[in-house]
Chain A
């Protein structure tokens, strides 16, 4: 029997702000801009919404961001949630919206994330952000920060499976090649393997290009109940599967450094969608560091454990490759505004499944997988989206 929430809702609108360095922007202004763009894309007005879901900001203390945004938009929402799962938040918002709509609580929900991490993050805030990702008393004093935690996983993976620095670099090179085709991307100048390998190391084995950008930017999407979606001009992109899984919070507590709760989130999402990894046309895999997609693809079952490095080798995830991944350029080359980071993986998947991706269009893209990771490989969410129900 099909899962009751399979295709219980669809994505009917997407919106993005410019990304990169946006002087004068704020988390709230970026959320407003993205929200209105998504509503416009859907052909809906604020008055059509039953509620909204937002992520938190790292820069601004928007403790009830959803309530603040509702006030700004002139809404009195019945449902309003501010979620926090780091880079998994965008897909968590999707899952919340799907669940609420599937339960009959809403017809149209708006999901929004935005932050000005690049222009807004002072030194104090940066240190605080670092502390947010590690235990203040048992990890931070040793000088850990996100690149170091992901480096611990990367080295463990290299040691256990022979994954190479060149394979890690391939992830960054492919992301840049896609970004070169995306006028919206923050980093578009050519990047080759030699440059990635020669770049300064941040935390060995990870170098500068193995690490996500720091950006300002925001994105939004509208999730709609099927009959409400049918009244709109364009067919929705269906949410066929959506699942989450939380493992450890702190990297010291990870039961395994080469496989994470992404395996559970992935298995749940594919089971709900009733499809297999080899049926996917486009993979939008969270790429906060180059090691992240390698491990995630293994955990999701695209290849065996330890085979991720070989799986992405040879430029096959880049433009023209037979396994298109992160066609917007990813966190590595498009943008990474922090907690909203993963939202562009989702909006790009919708664009591709609509056939609207222009020069980046993946021919015949009908089924996409999208993943998000929060913390230090801690919180995971996976969605399977389809052009057809």
Chain B
């Protein structure tokens, strides 16, 4: 795992969705870059996302891409525009009928089993519609 990936997934294990903020220009980014994508500065600080965001798009995966995911289909997969100003990929939680582009969502963590790779399978970041109740479920 890369250094950035390690910090991110360590964050998930303690209930944080970690982002990087550039000390030089303030740009907030995701996916663990070693330098700021805007000013190329190397001084970046990890922050925890506040947890709110908007759905940019989503899909419901019905055919598992790998054997490990077979027992988890169907699942919602989304791109979320976080309030911090960066886009992230995550699962969707809550009721599929509440999932919509432009809808407000909030961070939670779900147990998603054997995700590919060596990741904390029971602490997978997901986003649930703010209007739904008991959004993340069990």
Contacts and interface: CB of A to CB of B under 8 A. Distances in A.
A140 interface: yes
A142 B56 CA distance: 16
A155 B79 contact: no
Contacts of A251: 79, 89
Interface of B: 1-2, 4-5, 8-9, 30-32, 56-67, 69, 72, 75, 77-79, 87-91, 101-102, 112, 115-117, 119, 124
| Chain B facing A: main interface SS | mixed
Given A130-B65, A148-B59, A203-B63, A137 B101 contact: no
6 shortest interchain CB distances as A-B pairs:
A137-B5, A145-B65, A151-B59, A156-B57, A141-B115, A204-B60
Nearest to A137: B5
Interface residues of A, number: 36
Given A137-B2, A152-B58, A204-B59, A142 B8 contact: no
A155 B58 contact: yes
Contact of B62 (A126, A145, A156, A200): A200
A202 B63 CA distance: 5
Contacts of B2: 137
A27 to B, nearest CB: 23
B89 A203 contact: no
Contacts of B102: 159
A144 interface: yes
Interface string A111-140: 000000000000100110011000111111
Nearest to B91: A142
B116 A153 contact: no
Given A151-B59, A152-B57, A156-B56, A142 B5 contact: no
B60 A203 contact: yes
B57 A142 contact: no
A138 B1 CA distance: 11
A252 B77 contact: no
B31 A203 contact: no
Given A142-B77, A144-B65, 10 more contacts: A127-B116, A138-B8, A138-B89, A140-B115, A141-B124, A202-B61, A202-B62, A203-B77, A251-B89, A252-B30
B5 to A, nearest CB: 3
Contact of B89 (A159, A200, A206, A252): A252
A323 interface: no
B70 to A, nearest CB: 11
A148 B65 contact: yes
A201 interface: yes
A201 B73 CA distance: 12
B69 A203 contact: no
B126 to A, nearest CB: 9
Nearest to B113: A143
Given A137-B2, A252-B79, A257-B79, A144 B60 contact: no
B121 to A, nearest CB: 9
Given A201-B62, A202-B63, A131 B30 contact: no
B4 to A, nearest CB: 7
Interface of A: 123, 126-127, 130-131, 135-145, 147-148, 151-153, 155-156, 159, 200-206, 250-253, 257
A257 to B, nearest CB: 5
28 contacts: A137-B4, A137-B32, A138-B32, A138-B88, A138-B89, A141-B116, A142-B77, A142-B89, A142-B90, A142-B91, A143-B65, A143-B112, A144-B77, A145-B66, A147-B61, A148-B59, A152-B58, A152-B59, A152-B79, A153-B57, A202-B61, A203-B59, A203-B77, A206-B59, A250-B31, A251-B79, A251-B89, A257-B79
A152 B59 CA distance: 6
A206 B9 CA distance: 30
Contacts of A140: 115-117
A163 to B, nearest CB: 13
A131 B61 CA distance: 16
A159 B4 CA distance: 34
Contact of A143 (B32, B72, B79, B87): B72
Contacts of A126: 66
B65 A252 contact: no
A229 B9 CA distance: 58
Contact of A201 (B60, B65, B119): B60
Contact of A144 (B4, B57, B87, B89): B89
A381 B124 CA distance: 36
B91 A203 contact: no
Contacts of B72: 143
